[in-house]
Amino acid sequence: MRAEVDRYTRLPPEILELILRRLALTDCLRFASVCTSWRLALSECRLLPPRHPPWLMYGGAPAGSRRSLACYSLFEGRHIELQLPAGYESSHIAGTSAGWLIMSSDAERRITLLNPVSKVQIELPSNLHPSHHPGFKFFEDTPVGAKRNICTHWKAALSSVPTASNCIVAVKGTDGVLIWCRVGDSEWRVFDDGLRVYSDVIFHRGRLYAAGVRGEVVVVGFDEA
């Protein structure tokens, strides 16, 4: 019996990764509970199943010295609690994309991409202005002499799974300024085409769609950026 257990705990990492790619997310969590080597394989797998039944994220709470994330699986009809890695106790969950969390830390002025299942973390450039952190801001706009108050919120979007090559991260700050970077870049870049204030951003098929507060829509392709 002992020899049988040892045989499974010593499976090559590439075999374990092939198994992980065929599992649903909840099965990935069970996979990590089998033994230390399988749990390590999950943490090192940077490409989990791209298609799976969605989970609803509805909150989180401190769990001892760490923070937990409360989710609900529509496919299984049950609640799931995920424990985030250490260091995220005071971070904000600023958004989600492709199964990843976009985490923002006000104290350290940094944005991190976190996979809550595999616990893989990807650091993004740290040269952030305070307006590029989550929040809301009201300001006065005066188109054609008519005054109106506009509320702009913080939003981030990913062009693809961040472990894929050439993934773009776009952030619209509370001041309406749009910045972007590729995963692996050392600094953020400001996108400026004269609109100055944006209200929303989203990626679709690799292109960024940015809406201005006055109804303008800008489509950006990063193939040559």
Q: Convert the chain into a string of H (helix), E (strand) and C (coil).
A: CHHHHHHHHCCCHHHHHHHHCCCCHHHHHHHHCCCHHHHHHHHHCCCCCCCCCCEEEEEEEEECCEEEEEEEECCCCEEEEEECCCCCCCCEEEEEECCEEEEEECCCCEEEEECCCCCCEEECCCCCCHHHCCCEEEEEECHHHCCEEEEEECEEEECCCCCCCCCEEEEECCCCCEEEEECCCCCCEEECCCCCCEEEEEEECCEEEEEECCCCEEEEECCCC
66 and 119 belong to one structural domain = no
Q: Are the C-beta atoms of residues 176 and 213 closer than 8 Å to each other?
A: yes
Number of structural domains in the chain: 3
Same domain, 32 and 43: yes
Identify whether residues 218 and 189 lie together within a single domain.
yes
Section 18-41 average pLDDT: 80
Residue 38: name the closest of 50, 52, 28 by CA: 28
pLDDT band of residue 136 (cuts 50, 70, 90) is very low
The closest of 82, 88, 118 to 100, measured between CA atoms, is 118
**Residue 74 and residue 99 share a domain:** no
For residue 137, is pLDDT > 50?
A: no
Range of the domain at 101: 92-225
Task: Please give the structure tokens belonging to residue 142.
Answer: 């005066």
Radius of gyration, CA atoms only, the chain: 20
Domain co-membership, 100 together with 203: yes
Q: Among the three residues 83, 100, 133, which one is the final residue of a domain in this structure? A: 83
**43 and 117, same domain (yes or no):** no
Same domain membership, residue 162 and residue 99: yes
In which residue are the tokens 């829509």 written?
217
Q: Which residues contact 87 (CB under 8 A, 6 or more apart)?
A: none
Q: What is the pLDDT of residue 130?
A: 54
Shared domain check, 200 and 111: yes
Q: Do 2 and 72 fall into the same domain? A: no
pTM above threshold 0.75: no
Q: What is the pLDDT of residues 140-199, one digit of tens each?
A: 444 444 444 444 567 888 988 887 778 899 888 777 788 889 999 988 888 876 656 788
183 and 193 in a single domain? The answer is: yes
Co-location of 97 and 206 in the same domain: yes
- Over residues 62-112, the pLDDT tens digits come to 544 457 888 888 877 888 888 888 878 777 777 787 778 888 876 666 788
Task: Check whether residue 5 and residue 42 sit in a common domain.
Answer: yes
Q: 22 has which bridge partners? A: none
